[in-house]
Amino acid sequence: MQNKQILRNLVALSIIPGLGARRLRNLVHKKEQLEKVFNLSKSQLRSFEGIGEASTLSILSFDRWEEVDTILSDTENIGSEIVTITDTYYPELLKQIYDPPLLFWMKGNPEVLNTSGVAVIGTRNPTPYGKKQAHKLSYDLASKGLTIFSGLAYGIDAIAHKAALEANSGTVAVLGSGIDNLYPKRNASIANEIIKNNGAVISEFPLGTNPDAGNFPIRNRIVSGMSLGVLIVESGIQGGSMITAELGLDQNREVFAVPHSLENVAGSGGNYLIKRGAAKLVQTVDDILEELPMYSQPDDKEKEISQVQEQEPSKGWRDLELNDLSKKVCELLEHKPAQIDDLGDELGVSTSQLLVCLLQLEMQGVVSQKAGKIFSIE
């Protein structure tokens, strides 16, 4: 049973601008304080690591309780519920990533959130070969009792969800829009089937959020974060699937890829990951199963925590076509290495958005990452 006051307080904290993931984590870490966080004194709030003067004043002056109660009532009215990081049903694997969402909206069966599974992702425009492999591998994984995690997008995502449903297994769809603004709308029937068949549809984005392009790379960290491994069925060199693969590697997840013909540009991303040693080549479902803990044999060789990746020759960041955020990041890192939370504070962007940006720069050979999420220019 959720503690209603803690839920109300967490929703309130989530809508205070500028708190950021690190500060919220520090507040949530002391669960016994959550029930009375808005009644704490200035000195008590300042005792939390990372909670400075500005954050303290934001909490002490918070007066948007009517908005909080509207969020809670609207959530209930659409048949959804909010799962917070303090709840029993919050996925344990997701808690292990660097920037887990403080809370997310869910429709469906909360018990499926903590089941063992694999993320299956790929292009929105698959070839017949890609469709066949996505269906077969997803169905075989689901038949082994594994949950399929994906993003409900057209193409590979939708095929993976449908295959899990055919196998009478659980599947979880992670949205890049508000849970009340399902996207793509043409896949609403799949979402309904997922919910009806003991799966779940979830979103960390507030109610009413539109499916803006920038939301999808951010949501991809949840797709990989909930999973034991990430399977790339078909993807080009650029795109969301490659971002998810990099996020998976950053989260110490297993990454798998289906090989493609050299003439198939749609599959060049998977081939690239295999070539780098960043993904294991998959021909059958057994290639995936033997890497997962529940199927590993006791005498199996202990797996390395990190994967060896062949680095591409580095380029100067000014020689690349970068978006505005990437340019600002590079300009700051040129002066000195910086920790991701400090970068986020300086740039005024969320850790989740910044992590996607930094991992893309890392893929391009522009930045390198050290322990503690410290990044520097190569």
DSSP 274-339: HHHTSSEE-SSTHHHHTTSTTT--TTSPPPPSS---PPPPP--GGGS---HHHHHHHHHHHHS-EE
Exposed/middle/buried for 178, CB within 10 Å: 0-12, 13-18, 19+? Answer: buried
pLDDT of residue 1: 52
pLDDT of residue 2: 66
pLDDT in tens, 349-361: 888 888 889 988 8
How many Cβ atoms are within 10 Å of 185's Cβ, its own excluded?
11
CA end-to-end distance (rounded Å), the chain: 49
Strands 117-122 and 147-150: parallel
**Helix axis angle, 324-335 relative to 340-347, nearest 10°?**
120
Q: Running DSSP on this structure, what letter comes out for residue 30?
A: S
Exposed/middle/buried for 151, CB within 10 Å: 0-12, 13-18, 19+? Answer: buried
Q: In Å, how far from its chain's centre is CA 359? A: 13
pLDDT of residue 301: 39
Helices marked H in the chain: 4-14, 20-29, 31-34, 42-46, 53-60, 65-77, 92-95, 128-143, 156-166, 188-196, 215-225, 240-250, 268-276, 286-289, 324-335, 340-347, 351-363
* Structure-token match 């997701």, residue found: 94
What does the angle CA 260 – CA 262 – CA 267 come to, to the nearest 5 degrees? 40
Q: Which two tokens stand for residue 308?
A: 């060896």
Q: Which two tokens stand for residue 269?
A: 């991303």
Cα–Cα distance between 100 and 86 in angstroms, integer?
A: 12
pLDDT of residue 297: 52
233 CB-side CA count, 13 A:
30
pLDDT of residue 262: 85
Report, as ranges of residue numbers, the positions in the chain whose pLDDT lies below 70: 1-2, 30-31, 296-315
